[in-house]
Amino acid sequence: MILPFDKVKEDLLSLREHVAHFDDGLEISTDKHDVWSIKKLLILRYYVPDFLKIIRKYDYETIHYVDLFAGSGFIKIKEKLIPGTPLVPLLTSKEIVTDNNKLFFDQYHLADVNGKYVEALTSRVNTLNVGLHTHITVEQQDFQTSVDEIFPKSPSSWNERKKNAYLVMLDPYGFDVTWEHLSKILKSGAVDVIIYFPTRMISWNQLKDQSAEKLTKMYGNNDWVTFSSEDEFVERYCENIQKISVAWKPMKTKTFEVNAGKTKYHLICVSRSNGALNIFSDMKTLFDSVNVKLLESVFDTSVLSKPGLDGFF
Ligand SMILES: C[S@@+](CC[C@H](N)C(=O)[O-])C[C@H]1O[C@@H](n2cnc3c(N)ncnc32)[C@H](O)[C@@H]1O
C-alpha cells in the first residue's frame, strides 16, 4: 500500500520536473498561492488518468478539459515554480499516453480575465504540448462568457450522450462561480467537475453587506444568510449540487479539506458516474490525511532542499 507521504513526494517531483528548466526567478506566476495549493494540484493529477481511461472506454467522441480560472500556468511556492491546474492534466497525460491508448484530451479550453496571465499561459501550453494531439484554446475572458460559449444552451439529449465528455476545473479566488453557470455546466451531459471552494473566506463574508449580492448569485438563493458554521457553507453547497435536476442520474459529491490557518478550503469533486465516485473514494483514502504539515515537509525535503535538483532534470 502506498503511503500518503510517498505519493505526494512522487507526484510533486514529477510535476516539478516538467517545469524545472524554466527560470524560477523570472517567470510570471499566478499570485495568492502557497504550500496548501499543492493538494488541489495532486487531486486533479490523481484523477486525470482514471477519468481518461473511463471516458475512452465508453467511446466518447470528444474529451474536453475546461479550466476557466486558469491563471498563468505556473504558481510559485517558496520561490520554486510548480505547474498550476491548466498544465497538470496536459503534463499528466503526456506521462501516460502511448500510440494505442489515446489517454489525452482532444480539446483543451483555458481562460482567465488577466491578459498578462493569458499571454504567459499561451506560450507555456504551446511549449509543453509537444507529442500530444490536444487542440488547445486560451482566451482572455470572464467565466460567464466562457461557460456560455463552451456549454450547449440546453441540456444534452439522451441521443447526444456519447458526443462530449468534460472534466471541468473551477478554481476562483472568491465567489465568481455563479449558480446559474454552474448549473449550466452540470446539466451538460457527461461532466465531472472539481471546484475549489474557499470555505473560510466565503463564511467570513457572511456578515459583509457588500458581499451579499455575490453570495446570493453563488448559491442561487439567499439561504446562506442562515448558515451557522463554516462547514455548513460547503455542506449546503454540495446538497444543492446533488439536487440539481438532470436528465440522467443525479450528481454526487466528495469533498477534500485543507486547513492552513487563514486559508481553509474544500475541493468538491462532482460526478454522476459510479466509476468516478469509486475513484473519489480511493482518493479520500489516500489524501484525507494529507494536511499542510505533511505538504510542507514533502516540499522542503524533496523540491526545496535538494541542491542540484534542477540541474539533474
Ligand atoms: C486561484 S487563481 C487560478 C489559479 C490556477 N487555477 C492555478 O492552479 O494555477 C484564480 C484566477 O482567476 C482569475 N479570475 C478572477 N476573476 C475571474 C473571472 N470572473 N473570470 C475568469 N477568471 C477570473 C484570476 O485572474 C486568477 O488568475
| 123-163-185-151 Cα dihedral, nearest 10 degrees | 60
List the residue whose alpha carbon is closest to atom 27 of ligand 1.
71
Specify the range with the lowest mean pLDDT, choosing from 33-42, 144-153, 208-217. Answer: 144-153
pLDDT at 311: 44
Look at residue 88 in the predicted model and tell me its pLDDT: 98
CB count, 10 Å around CB of 69?
25
What tens digit of pLDDT does each residue of 97-137 get? 998 899 999 999 999 999 999 999 999 999 998 888 899 99
pLDDT of residue 307: 52
CA distances from 20 to 74, 82, 96, 244 (A): 11, 8, 20, 42
- Selection from 194, 201, 207 nearest residue 270 by Cα: 194
CB-side exposure of 79: number of CA atoms within 13 Å?
A: 3
* pLDDT surpasses 80 at 248: no
> Which atom of ligand 1 sits closest to the CA of residue 169?
6
Distance 176 CA to ligand 1 centre (A): 9
* Residue pLDDT, tens place only, 190-201: 999 999 999 999
Q: 131: which 3 cell numbers?
A: 507529442
45 pLDDT exceeds 90?
Answer: yes
Residue nearest to atom 7 of ligand 1 (CA): 84
Kindly give the distance from the C-alpha atom of residue 160 to the centroid of ligand 1, in angstroms, as a whole number: 31
Report the residue among 38, 41, 69, 76 best suited for mutation to probe ligand 1: largest number of ligand atoms under 8 A from its CB.
69
Could you read off the pLDDT of 15-36 as tens digits, one per residue? 999 999 998 888 999 998 899 9
How far, in Å, CA of 110 to CA of 19, rounded? 19
Q: How confident is the model at residue 159 (pLDDT cuts 50, 70, 90)?
A: low
User: What's the CATH number for 25-286?
Assistant: 3.40.50.150
Q: What is the pLDDT of residue 121?
A: 97
Point out the ligand 1 atom lying closest to the alpha carbon of residue 37: 8
Residues framing ligand 1 (Cβ under 6 A): 30, 68-71, 75, 84-85, 112-114, 117, 142-143, 171-173, 176
Q: What is the pLDDT of residue 302?
A: 93
Residue 312 has pLDDT above 60, yes or no: no
Mean pLDDT of the chain: 92
Residue 117 CA, ligand 1 centroid: distance in Å = 9
Which residue ranges make up each domain of the chain?
25-286
Place of cell 455542506: 235
Contact 197, 170 (CB under 8 A): no
Closest approach atom of ligand 1 to CA 85? 8
Q: Which protein residue has the closest C-alpha to ligand 1 atom 20?
A: 142
Q: Tens digits of per-residue pLDDT, 266-311?
A: 999 999 999 999 999 999 999 999 999 999 999 999 998 765 444 4
Regarding predicted confidence, which is higher, 33 or 146? 146
Q: What is the pLDDT of residues 166-188, one digit of tens each?
A: 999 999 999 999 999 999 999 98
pLDDT at 154 (0 to 100): 62
Q: Compute, in angstroms, the gap from residue 272 CA to the centroid of ligand 1.
A: 26
Long-range contact list for 9-12, CB < 8 A, 24+ apart?
Answer: 9/298, 9/301, 9/302, 11/42, 11/45, 11/46, 12/38, 12/42, 12/82, 12/298, 12/299, 12/302, 12/303
**Shortest-distance atom of ligand 1 to CA 33:** 1
Share of residues in the chain with pLDDT > 90 (%): 82
Å from CA of 171 to ligand 1 middle: 6
